[in-house]
Each structure stands twice: as C-alpha cells, then as structure tokens.
C-alpha cells in the first residue's frame, strides 16, 4: 500500500504529508524517489516555497497523509504562492493611538472588512488570526480563521487582553488566500 502511495505521488506530482515518529517532524511535499529503505521528497514550506529535498528512512515514518484539509490548503498555497506575496498590505495611519485605546484604534478600521486578516496576541501568549466582525471600546468580536483557511467560529476578546496586533502579515495573507479560494466555489 505504501509503495502505491509513493509511486502515485511521484508519477502525478501529488502532495503527501510525511509524519515521522516522535518530535522529529512533518514534511509536506512530492515524492521524488524512493526504495525499500528511503524516501526522497521535494519539501515545501507552509508558505508554498520549495525548501529543498528531504531524505528520510521509511522505518521512521509514522504515517503518510494523502487526503486531508492541510494538503488541500497546501495545494492552494503552492499554486498561488506569488499571490500571497503580492497581496496588498492595507495600512492605515493611526494618529490617535495612545495607551488607553490603541487596540480599538488599531482594529476599528478593519471592522467587517473581509479583505484583511488581522492577527492578535492575547495575554502575551497565543496569536489568533481572523476577521474583525465588530468592536467597541471594551470588546472585540473576532471570526477565527485556522491554518487551513477554515472559519473556526467567532470569539469575543477583551481589548485589554490584546497586547499585539498585526495586519495582513505573511501568515494572515496565506490564510486569507486559502479562505477566499475555498469560499469562492
């Protein structure tokens, strides 16, 4: 069965995901060659750039992903990698920023804008990417967009908990492209 999957990837230039045992890693790419002991894979970064060749021992492979949401998203990213870099970064001048309301002033211009994905860091810990659905002086209603361009529902955050804001950074542009491509059909 594994030989069939590897041969299919090699012959059809189809993406596969290679998960190695333990913390060793995960490769996403196209099988370039293989034998009974090794696999040679053209590896792609999560931003769709060719990142060289990975050679791994077959015995170190825990699983091979062939049809999942991540690979579907990666196909979109690889086919459109230049578009991700070319997406216009909307910047708006914030002349009214101060320590009291900087989160509100920074995010308010993007309310209901489905062409801009923002990234917020909450309590110095996790970053969340998504759309600003609505905002007031105290709270942010935020549609979360996951790594595969899927909506993960809406969450409400206290503005005072937000300690970093990024607008249309590379990760946001990547997710936005996948989101728009998936929702265009």
- pLDDT for 98: 67
Tell me the backbone φ, ψ of residue 130, rounded to 5 degrees: 175, -170
* pLDDT above 70: residue 179: yes
User: CA 175 to CA 168: how far, in whole Å?
Assistant: 10
Three-class SS state of 164: strand
How many helical (H) and strand (E) elements, i.e. helices and strands, does the chain have? 5, 10
- pLDDT for 184: 87
Could you tell me if 147 and 76 are in contact, meaning their C-beta atoms sit under 8 angstroms apart?
no
- pLDDT for 61: 93
Residue-wise pLDDT tens digits, 14-64: 999 999 998 778 999 999 999 999 999 999 999 999 999 999 999 999 999
User: CA 27 to CA 57: how far, in whole Å?
Assistant: 13
Q: The pTM is what? A: 0.82
- pLDDT for 91: 65
- Mean pLDDT, to the nearest integer, of 111-125? 93
Residue-wise pLDDT tens digits, 142-160: 999 999 999 999 999 999 9
Element (H, E) at 70: helix 69-79
User: CA 82 to CA 92: how far, in whole Å?
Assistant: 24
For residue 60, give the nearest of 26, 85, 31 by alpha carbon: 26
Residue-wise pLDDT tens digits, 77-113: 999 988 888 777 666 666 666 667 889 988 999 999 9
Q: Residue 37 CB: number of other CB atoms within 10 A?
A: 8
How would you class 29 by CB atoms within 10 Å of its CB: exposed for 0-12, middle for 13-18, buried for 19 or more? buried
């Amino acid at each position: 069965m594994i030989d069939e999957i590897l041969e299919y990837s090699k012959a059809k230039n189809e993406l596969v995901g290679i998960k190695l045992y333990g913390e060793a890693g995960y490769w996403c790419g196209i099988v370039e060659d293989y034998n009974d002991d090794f696999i040679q894979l053209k590896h792609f970064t999560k931003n769709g750039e060719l990142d060289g060749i990975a050679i791994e021992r077959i015995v170190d492979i825990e699983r091979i992903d062939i049809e999942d949401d991540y690979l579907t998203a990666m196909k979109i990213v690889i086919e459109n990698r230049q578009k991700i870099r070319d997406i216009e970064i909307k910047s708006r001048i914030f002349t009214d920023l101060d320590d009291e309301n900087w989160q509100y002033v920074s995010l308010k211009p993007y309310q209901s804008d489905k062409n801009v994905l923002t990234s917020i860091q909450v309590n110095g810990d996790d970053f969340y990417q998504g759309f600003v659905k609505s905002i007031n002086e105290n709270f942010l209603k935020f549609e979360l967009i996951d790594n595969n361009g899927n909506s993960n529902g809406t969450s409400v955050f206290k503005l005072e908990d937000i300690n970093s804001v990024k607008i249309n950074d590379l990760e946001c542009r990547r997710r936005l492209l996948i989101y728009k491509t998936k929702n265009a059909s």
